[in-house]
Amino acid sequence: MTTAPSPLWQPDAQRLQHSQLSAFREQAEALTGQTLDDYRALHQWSVRDPEAFWNLVWDFCELQGHKGERVLEPSPVFRHNRWFPDARINMAENLLARDDTHPALISVDEAGRRDEISYNDLRVAAGQVAAQLRAAGIQPGDRVAGFMPNRIETVIAALGCAWIGAIWSSCSPDFGVQGVLDRFGQIEPKVLFACDGYHYNGKWIELDQRIHDLHDHLKPELLVVIPGRGDTTRVRQALNWRDWLDAAGPLPEFEPLAFNHPLYILYSSGTTGAPKCIVHGTGGALIQHAKEHRLHGDLGADDVLFYFTTCGWMMWNWLVSGLQTGATLVLYDGNPAYPDAARLFDLIDAEKITHFGTSAKFVQAVEKAGVVPKDSHDLSSLRTLMSTGSPLLHESYDFLYQQVKADLLVSSISGGTDILSCFALGNPVVPVYRGELQCLGLGLDVAVFNDDGEAVVGEKGELVCRAPFPACPVAFWNDPDEERFHDAYFDRFENVWAHGDYAEIVAHQGHDGLIIHGRSDAVLNPGGVRIGTAEIYRQVETLEEIREAIVIGQQFQGDVRVVLFVVPADGVELTDELQKKIRATIRAGASPRHVPAVILTVPEIPRTVSGKIVELAVRDVVHGREVRNSNALANPEALAHFADRPELAE
């Protein structure tokens, strides 16, 4: 008989009684006359009666705008269902609903500069951007691009766009010129906002030349530059941000927009071709983020939300939506481990952060650096720690509860750029189990399908969503026949969203957890047995001798063999003894099938600009295939370490 796992954390009476999720459940019970006595019952109701659920989310989260009578205009085609078809809504109006002197944004950079802006001042500044854009002839649906670090001015510019119905799209300033053009070049922005420099790893990075090159190629009608240091910029043909804002006329009214009116354009990683331009709608992003922040995150007006992100990652857009709750957002620009791995924990104490978000990789890096935050920091304000970007290792849960804070809601969350949100999230009213995402998102009919398209529990398979949801993208840019859109999500299972994660649902009393075993397209298949890459990383990255690793499946002698590349820790060599230790660790912690046939060293691992390792690109290099868009990588030169390795010859 299998012993049920013990939770690492359980909600106390305060959370159970006073969380926003509990209040929402009570309203749902009053609305339906049903007893929804646990999270599973609430989730089942939310997918069984989606119109009632999303209607209640709108009211509970106090969304501003005209809702209309209809919640859903159904269609037999998944992606053609229309939510709130009569609604008129504006994202900026909702994110700026709080209008007082409470801090809205606090911006801190690596060099120690700190800026703060209140909700009422943020509203004025965003309105000035809106007024100036409108005066320049920018219309609803026009594209506005930001080549910006994560700072207050970036949020102001994005809100000003949303105010008048323009479409915002951003890239982080660590992108090279070609990487930016691969993205912005497809959408042809009429306005480009840029910052002429930023701090990283103790250095000031000048962006003047990159901005000149982008301006020459994109030819926007308007270039506005935010000086990174001081009050002036040397970028020719540019308007100075402060002077431009000061010249604004009266603030316009918020533009009432259709629920599906395009709000953002985000981009796929682009490592297997030109990045896909994913268009997200105003209402879908707003209502989904409000649900995630308020119900799953229990974020309120007195809280302080931080997520380490750049403007090239969807978590930036997700973070900005936290303004809808009236909370204070903390923005950070720079290396999160500079001057040392405790930097962001210093930030938690300094800004009294209640909700702290980061990547699974950062948690591993902190642990390997020997930092013990519970001994070196106060952390009394911290209630929730969120992690995404890759699966949070089982051992990282142990580290967080043993070395960071025992009374901490660890919310490993998973979704993606494709939906600008999450399929699996945290939850203030259910336990945390080691290695698991706490729950499936409300209103999302998430399941795991086996190869026959059957829903399974306790088995690995494809993560899917079986029913339409408001945060489904509006479209791909320049995809008039929707062929690329269909191929991206609906090619595997007819009229069912296949997300591309290899996952497993775990049933508990009162709720279902989720384990992510890796990306489906990176799954290994030695001897016909499917293996998730996360299962191997989990074992390897517990070894202090290994800094990081990447694993692929290599076609070899009519089968697939597992090849593991490792970056040893400083001063460590990959000896036969260490190889035996790696294999023994994987064999004991996973299975004999997971044990790599070949283990090789590399000095670094290629990553996207958002920090994700690129298994598919490495697999292509190993097999002698061209990597079609190395511009999507932060360090494309790292691919050379995987080419022409004699150890991999047949």
Confidence at residue 228, expressed as pLDDT on a 0 to 100 scale = 82
Centre a 10 Å sphere on the Cβ of residue 200 and count the other Cβ atoms it contains.
Answer: 18
Q: What is the pTM of this model?
A: 0.90
Q: Which two tokens stand for residue 458?
A: 């306790």
| Beta-strand runs (E) in 126-185 | 143-147, 167-171
| CB contact at 8 A, 519 and 533 | yes
Largest distance between two CA atoms of the chain:
73
Q: What length does the chain have?
A: 650
| CB contact at 8 A, 355 and 326 | no
As a whole number of angstroms, the distance between CA 357 and CA 411 comes to 9
Confidence at residue 3, expressed as pLDDT on a 0 to 100 scale = 64
Looking at residue 490, the DSSP 8-state letter turns out to be T
Distance from CA of residue 315 to its chain's centroid? 4
* Cα 286-491-284 angle, rounded to 5 deg: 5
| CB contact at 8 A, 143 and 165 | no
Looking at residue 10, the DSSP 8-state letter turns out to be -
3 state DSSP class of 278: strand
Three-state secondary structure readout of 406-431: CCCEEEECEEECCCCEEEEECCCCCC
Confidence at residue 1, expressed as pLDDT on a 0 to 100 scale = 43
3 state DSSP class of 460: strand
Sheet holding 497-508: strands in order across?
Answer: 446-449, 460-465, 497-508, 511-519
Confidence at residue 273, expressed as pLDDT on a 0 to 100 scale = 66
CA distances from 560 to 450, 553, 563, 579 (A): 21, 6, 9, 20
Can the peptide bond before residue 339 be classed as cis, meaning omega within 30 degrees of 0? Answer: yes
The set of residues, in sequence order, having a beta carbon less than 8 Å from that of 648 and lying 6+ positions away, is 554, 563, 598, 600, 622
Looking at residue 531, the DSSP 8-state letter turns out to be B
| CB contact at 8 A, 626 and 191 | no
Which candidate, 234, 197, 192, 242, places its Cα nearest to that of 215?
A: 192
Q: Which residues of the chain have pLDDT under 50?
A: 1
Cα atoms in the 13 Å half-sphere on the side-chain side of 46: 24
Confidence at residue 87, expressed as pLDDT on a 0 to 100 scale = 98
Q: What are phi and psi of 356, to 5 degrees?
A: -115, 125
